[in-house]
Amino acid sequence: MTIPTTHPFDFDPTYGMEQEQLLAIQPPEAPPGFDEFWQQRYKAAIAIDPQPRLRHSRLRHDDWHVFDISYMSTGSFQINGWLIVPRTGQVRRGLIVGHGYGGRDQPEFDLPVEETAVLFPCSRGLSLSASPQIPSDASGHVLYGIESRDTYIIGGCVEDIWLGVSALHTLYPWLAGHIGYSGISFGGGIGALAIPFDARIKRGHLVVPTFGHRQLWLTLPTVGSAQSVQAYQKQHGSVLETLRFFDAAIAASRITVPMLVAPALFDPAVAPPCQFSVANALQKFNEIFILDAGHFDYAGSEEQNAILRDKVGRFFKVP
């Protein structure tokens, strides 16, 4: 175990917690109406025709056909991103890959998957899906619409994933029942919220997921997106009543499909207690692969990431 012992932060990114303590953290109680809130949003979202549009991308790769893709999401919001399809073999599985709060500037061509159409959507307001109305930086984006659960940007980002599934169904109808999701950090939190309410997503992989256990998320020091929400709350009053409906740990407790989750013991951007609240909420047949650190370079990271990559390849392997 090579948890970093030196760092530039004025707080302890382990929060003084050992692995056993982190594995004991449980998700908070759901607010009344939590499931109905998401079920209604899902019902409205899947009624939308995503109208996916493809064009050959300027990007080229030896192993993948690369397309620029756009599709419609809720609120008539156009989501842009990339779709990559293997040059050889059949397309037998679909995978949606979420991104962190740093956004995305190109697809990931080294994913350990085969015979898979991979969709890389940019969440509304970020990267290729930027909008003049929505701040494109993490500290501003995470606050957009936070006054109400009905206007909060994170809800729209979850719907963008659901409409991504719809887009894959439109393009490749035979992939129904064979679509997975993978997301890191921001994308991990969004995935935890999206997966339990969309039965079309059959398995999920989350790395250092955020948005878990919002009470802790609002209090633990961080350099991540929670920092700006904590500052906003000091000035404008509690936002917990909104955020309780966007708690990734509560949502994860509703997930019934196979999951592979990788939380970290040390993380200055997403507090480990929040990450583990998501991992621990899952049903016990799922695998938790514990990283020494997240959002931070550390000795041994290459070895751990190689092991995780191998697990991911087996997890998403076409049967």
Q: What angle do CA 183, 185, 187 make, to 5 degrees?
A: 40
CA nearest 274: which of 192, 214, 225? Answer: 214
Cα distance between residue 220 and residue 19, in whole Å: 17
Under 8 Å between Cβ of 226 and 15 = no
Strands (E), 116-190: 116-121, 179-184
CA–CA distance from 96 to each of 179, 181, 200 (Å)?
Answer: 8, 5, 12
Which residues, 6+ apart, have CB-to-CB distance to 183 below 8 Å?
A: 97, 98, 99, 189, 190, 191, 204, 205, 206, 207, 209
Which residues, 6+ apart, have CB-to-CB distance to 250 below 8 Å?
A: 27, 28, 29, 30, 34, 244, 281
4 burial type by CB count under 10 A (0-12 exposed, 13-18 middle, 19+ buried):
middle
Give the chain's end-to-end CA distance (angstroms, integer): 33
CA–CA distance from 303 to each of 18, 310, 317 (Å)?
Answer: 21, 11, 21
Q: Is 144 flagged in the annotation as binding? A: no
Which helix (H) or strand (E) is 230 found in, with range?
helix 226-236
CA nearest 259: which of 171, 153, 188? Answer: 188
Q: Which residues are annotated as a binding site for substrate?
A: 101
Q: Which residues are annotated as a binding site?
A: 101
